[in-house]
Amino acid sequence: MVEAGVNTVVGLVGYLIVVVAIGHWGSKLVSSGEDFFLGGDQLPGWALALSERSSGMSGWLLLGVPGLAWSVGLSAVWVLVGTTGGAIFQWIVYARPFMEGRKETGAITPIGLLAEKIPGDSSAVRALPALVTFVFYMGYVGAQFLAGGNIFQNAFGIDPVVGIVVVGVVVTAYSLAGGFPSVVWTDVMQALLMLFTLVVLPGYLLVSVFLDPSTSLVGGLAASGGSRATWFGGRTDAAALVFLGASLSWFFLYLGGYPHLDARFMAVRNDADRRSAILVATVWGILTSSGAVLLGLLARVINGAPAAVQADREMVLPFMVLEHLPGLLGGVLLAGALAAMMSTASSQIVVASSAVAQDVYNEILTKGEEFSEASQLRVSRAATFAVGVIGLAIALLTSDLVYTLVSYSGTGLFSAFGPAFTLVFFWRRDLSVAGLVAAFVAGPGATILWVGLGLDAVITVRLIAPPIGFAAAIGASLLWPDREPTDRPSAVGTPGQD
């Protein structure tokens, strides 16, 4: 691996200092539990869009996708079509119901919104989603910390444990200080840095390929073998269709299935902000997705299969940065990789802590008790600290690829939250308490069972667990409907209106 120089270290350390400073500034925007978990209507739509996209794509975009493209070639593009398409569709269709649902119910967490929209007063409506949120987000947070440690090891030769601890401590610190506002504003900086990284680096490398008459992108991919110059990786007929379906299935993971993204939709102030957010999310998503795939393809054509990348394909971006760019710029672009992971980890820490502090402690364990704003903030910050520590412990104990961890954790979350929010917002009948419980048992349960039995190698769990979650929710709601009808405004169930 190319050694990082002093200027590279300066650029990276400077970024970490700025992140901590933003976190401290964000703490001044927080004076209540609503501020800590949802921002208190202080955040513009464009900022929420950048926050949602950077935390939604994370280290998976900067490490997982270039590594995938380097490994398989052009066929990696279909994964990005699924994820980017799903994200844009979610902003167009789901953002309004979340925004209006928050205003209608006064909920300050995604789980709280579910609980307020479903009749009755069952503790299971909060406890079970909180449990699923905590379990699957801990794997997700651990994956981001793990990826940060890998960057420190491969770029600077630092023990990955040290890197994991540095990333974990910094992320937990600014999340603890300013909650949701700090996370969103650091996300904005991180989203812009990710955009810069995935435009400047692939653009610079692409120009070098065009200027070299002996080099061709498609020709280089073809010469590397492995059907990397084909759109379906050499697959034909039924095999190509199965591959395409598995890749595009990432689309469905974004339909209300990630609570840390749902919180951004809930925080949108009005419809004008929502429309500006759709535009920003679309442009950012297309540019960064294209750059991530292109980076992996260019790495294969320009550098072939260096030992460092063969050992860990998720090190494509750090390798290319240190190999081809000057030190200070390299430090800034490496910070872009860390930015992606820190953005997602901080978002998930805040949402997981909201499930513990607001939905379990405040609404179940101490229901009916009055708390001062100062007391609520203390509980919220204590939960945030605990979640950060647990995520750090998981990162230190796992060695799975970021891509794999995100895939399984994301499916477990979506197979429960996706059916719940989709049916609450858009089903003409009412999702019952039994339906919600069924979704949160069947969907995550199917995910764990399918992966545990090794069946994901036959058919991806993304095509199995979500339909099971939907079927369980609908079937249980029809068999055991709630006696108390819900009263939902018709606008909340009407997608896509402007």
- At 342-351, the pLDDT tens digits run 777 777 888 8
Task: Examine the pLDDT at 144 and tell me if it is beyond 90.
Answer: no
Q: How far is CA 55 from CA 24, 189, 250, 329, in A?
A: 20, 12, 16, 23
CA angle 86, 288, 191 (to 5 degrees): 95
Return the domain boundaries, the chain. 6-364+372-493
CA dihedral 364, 368, 371, 376 (to 10 degrees): 20
Least confident of 29-38, 130-139, 282-291, 367-376: 367-376
CB 70 within 8 A of CB 296: yes
Task: Examine the pLDDT at 111 and tell me if it is beyond 80.
Answer: yes
Task: Examine the pLDDT at 483 and tell me if it is beyond 80.
Answer: no
Name the band, by pLDDT with cuts 50, 70 and 90, for residue 492.
very low
DSSP secondary structure, 300-317, as one string: HHHH---HHHHH-GGGHH
Name the band, by pLDDT with cuts 50, 70 and 90, for residue 495.
very low
| 423-446 core/surface letters (b: 16 or more CB in 10 A; e: else) | bbbbeeebbbbbbbbbbbbbbbbb
Task: Examine the pLDDT at 208 and tell me if it is beyond 90.
Answer: no
In the prediction, which pLDDT does 339 show?
67
CA 227 to chain centre: 30
Q: Which CATH number applies to 6-364+372-493?
A: 1.20.1730.10
In the prediction, which pLDDT does 496 show?
38
Least confident of 47-51, 202-206, 442-446, 488-492: 488-492
In the prediction, which pLDDT does 1 show?
46
Report the predicted TM-score, pTM, of the whole model to 2 decimal places: 0.84
- How many helices (H) and strands (E) the chain has is answered by 20, 0
- At 238-257, the pLDDT tens digits run 889 988 988 888 888 788 88
Report the share of the chain in percent with pLDDT over 90: 28
Task: Tell me the C-alpha distance between 126 and 58, whole Å.
Answer: 27
Name the band, by pLDDT with cuts 50, 70 and 90, for residue 487.
very low
CA angle 298, 299, 301 (to 5 degrees): 60
